[in-house]
Structure 1
Amino acid sequence: MSKIVTFGEVLMRLSPLGNKKFKQTNVLEYYFGGTEVNVSISLANFGHKVKHISCISDDFIGDTAIAYLRSYNVDTRNIYRSHRPLGLYYLEVGAVMRPSTISYNRSSSAFSGVTPEKVDWESALKGCNWMHWTGITPGLSQGAYDTLKEGLIQAKAKGITISSDPTYRGGLWKYGVEPQDAIRDLMQYVTIFMGGIDEINEILGTDYGYGNEDFITASKQLIEAYPNVEKVFDKIRIAINASWQKIKGRMWNGIEFKETEAIEITHIVDRIGTGDAFAAGLIYGLLNYDDFKAMEFASAACALKHTFPGDINYATVTDVEHLLSGNTGGRVLR
């Protein structure tokens, strides 16, 4: 059984019930999440051994967050505690033509105060054969960037497969480092690249279009610039409105280009964490299937996440395979 390590912030999400705006209510529901947390829990739901590395508040909120992760069999032994508060974000869930809106409160969070000496990477990576990171984490602070880089250096030295979704939140980068410079530096450690044209253009300073030929050419150039990258996978979202969308994937694995059929989602329950569901599905798929089936599995996992409230994809391998077999009607299973 593969052991996968993720590193990133544990967040609490606060949101009005349903599709209300904050001004409409004084009743909120909360969920725990965070990009890498979402990936780790999804992979645990798929049956993998997963360890999440983070720094969280040393209070009852932090205790609750750890209990939440443990309830999904995520290893929390390398989560460290801080006097700073847990990071928060506020979400108003949109519908139809009204988009969802998010406000972050994480600049002084427990995780933003992480530094390399707080993480015992030797212990954290013991027995690990896959590490996953995203472009959000290095944007939080110099300490988060330095700590992630130290982990990647050690993971690469150990021959661990390293996957990355380099998508970042530009508004988080407030400590004097340019996002493009940081991501380009960390790209030297990436084996599996989970990003599309926008991310490749950011890294290479190019202006490729969104067509398949441009994607192939861009992927080849990315691999040429970063020879450690073996495969490029892109999740494509086709939006009709905020409640009705389609998901598909495409890839260049250094040998061939392939693209999945689009999966239509006619009524979105929750869009948060869907990219993370794709990443987790792809990691699971690459550890168990060939590249194309892995991408099909990732696309189906992503589509299913749209049906669950909260940040986490609760789908199991059986659920994903059920969808892949053509069961899209939602009939009651007895």
Structure 2
Amino acid sequence: MNQTVTFGEVLMRLSPLGNKKFMQSNRLEFYFGGTEVNVAISIANFGGKVRHVSSISDDFIGDTAKSYLRKFGVSTAGIARSKRPLGIYFLEVGAVMRPSAISYNRSHSAFSEITPTMVDWEKSLKRCTWFHWTGITPALCEGGYLTLKEGLILAQKKGVEVSVDPTYRSGLWKYGADPRDTLSNLLQYCTIFIGGINEMNEVLGADYNYSNEDFIEASKHLLKEFPNIKKTFDKIRTPINASWHKIRSRMWNGNEYRETLDLDITHIVDRIGTGDAFAGGLIYGLQHFDDDYKAMEFAAAASALKHTYEGDVNFSSVDEVMSVLDGNTSGRFNR
């Protein structure tokens, strides 16, 4: 059976109820998430076997976070404990023309002090067939970069498929590392690239635009620059307003370009984690479907469905995603 390993920070999210701003409310809901955590739980909900590697607080909040992961069937055997607190972010959910707003409190979190000595990669990657990471992890701290690199080197030696979502966010790179050099150094170990033109331009030092033709050229450039990468996948979001978006995806697998049709999301419940739902759906699809396009369609439908769930995580099953692909998008009761 395929086993996927994810590596990254576990976060707690705090939000006012509904679409309220913090100044309107004195009651908060909390959820657990984090980019790689969201991918892990999504794959587990599809029936996949997943292990998450991280460092979390050694207190009752950390205990609760571990329990949350285990509830979905995600192994926490690779999670270290720290005396530092769990990272937190605060979210105000927007609506219509008012965008959502996020504020992070993670600079001195449990994950920020992670070091290679805290992770037993040989044990964590045992029986692993797929390893997933994002650009957020090496952006947060040098320890995250060094620990990730050790895992990637071993994964490559073991012949593990490695997917990356570079997720370039300039505001995260605060410890002195050069984003392009750091990401390029890690991309050499990867086989699947999940990202768009912005991410490609960042690692290539290029200025491709968003057209399909430029996506193909940028993908060819990326595959030439990083020969281990075999395929690129891009999720495209077209916002009408904060509550109504369209989702489609496109790919280049070294031989052909394909793209999906738009999926209309006319009432967004929660858009946090939708990119992670795409990545989780794609990983599951590539593991179970002998067809890149079908895997990408599955990923796009999984991402669209995530918009209908509160919290960071996609709770959809394989059957629910396949139902959307079969054209069942009316939301009628299942009886």
What is the match of residue 304 of structure 2? 303
- Residues of 1 paired with 2:107 and 2:178: CA distance? 17
Residues 216-274 of structure 1: CA deviation (Å, up to 9, x unaligned): 01100000000000000000001101100000010000000000001000000000000
- Residues of 2 paired with 1:131 and 1:310: CA distance? 24
Pairwise CA distance, 1:42: 0.4
* Secondary structure in 1 matching 2:188: helix
Pairwise CA distance, 1:3: 0.2
Structure 2 unaligned blocks of 5 or more: none
Residues 145-170 of structure 1: CA deviation (Å, up to 9, x unaligned): 10001100100111000000001322
- Residues of 2 paired with 1:168 and 1:311: CA distance? 19
**Pairwise mapping of residues 60-79 of structure 1 onto structure 2 (< 5 A)?**
60-79=60-79
- Residues of 2 paired with 1:64 and 1:168: CA distance? 29
- Residues of 1 paired with 2:168 and 2:158: CA distance? 27
What is the match of residue 152 of structure 1? 152
The answer on whether the counterparts of 2:239 and 2:245 sit within 8 Å (CA) in structure 1 is: yes
User: In structure 1, what residue type is equivalent to 2:66?
Assistant: I
User: In structure 2, what residue type is equivalent to 1:224?
Assistant: K
- 2:174 pairs with 1:174: yes
- Residues of 1 paired with 2:316 and 2:172: CA distance? 30
What is the match of residue 47 of structure 1? 47
Residues 109-136 of structure 1: CA deviation (Å, up to 9, x unaligned): 0001000011000000000000000000
* Secondary structure in 2 matching 1:50: strand
* Secondary structure in 2 matching 1:32: strand
- Please tell me the root mean square deviation across aligned C-alpha atoms, in Å: 0.5
* Secondary structure in 1 matching 2:29: strand
Identity of aligned residues (%): 68
User: In structure 1, what residue type is equivalent to 2:247?
Assistant: I
User: In structure 2, what residue type is equivalent to 1:213?
Assistant: E
* Secondary structure in 1 matching 2:258: strand
**Pairwise mapping of residues 305-324 of structure 1 onto structure 2 (< 5 A)?**
305-324=306-325
The answer on whether the counterparts of 2:243 and 2:267 sit within 8 Å (CA) in structure 1 is: yes
- Residues of 2 paired with 1:168 and 1:215: CA distance? 17
- Residues of 1 paired with 2:168 and 2:311: CA distance? 20
- Residues of 1 paired with 2:173 and 2:90: CA distance? 19
User: In structure 2, what residue type is equivalent to 1:204?
Assistant: L
What is the match of residue 294 of structure 2? 293
What is the match of residue 114 of structure 1? 114
User: In structure 2, what residue type is equivalent to 1:294?
Assistant: A
- Residues of 2 paired with 1:69 and 1:274: CA distance? 18
* Secondary structure in 1 matching 2:77: coil
* Secondary structure in 1 matching 2:143: helix
The answer on whether the counterparts of 2:168 and 2:199 sit within 8 Å (CA) in structure 1 is: no
What is the match of residue 332 of structure 2? 331
Pairwise CA distance, 1:39: 0.2
User: In structure 1, what residue type is equivalent to 2:225?
Assistant: A
What is the match of residue 137 of structure 1? 137
Residues 188-209 of structure 1: CA deviation (Å, up to 9, x unaligned): 0110000111110111111111
User: What TM-score, normalized by structure 2, do the two folds share?
Assistant: 0.99
* Secondary structure in 2 matching 1:214: helix
What is the match of residue 251 of structure 1? 251
What is the match of residue 242 of structure 1? 242
The answer on whether the counterparts of 2:278 and 2:299 sit within 8 Å (CA) in structure 1 is: yes
**Pairwise mapping of residues 85-234 of structure 1 onto structure 2 (< 5 A)?**
85-234=85-234
Residues 83-141 of structure 1: CA deviation (Å, up to 9, x unaligned): 00000000000111111110000010000100001100000000000000000011111
How many residue pairs match? The answer is: 334
User: In structure 1, what residue type is equivalent to 2:286?
Assistant: L
Pairwise CA distance, 1:288: 1.2
* Secondary structure in 2 matching 1:312: coil
- Residues of 2 paired with 1:134 and 1:309: CA distance? 23
- Residues of 1 paired with 2:165 and 2:31: CA distance? 22
Residues 25-60 of structure 1: CA deviation (Å, up to 9, x unaligned): 111000000000000000000001100000000000
User: What TM-score, normalized by structure 1, do the two folds share?
Assistant: 0.99
- Residues of 2 paired with 1:181 and 1:93: CA distance? 35
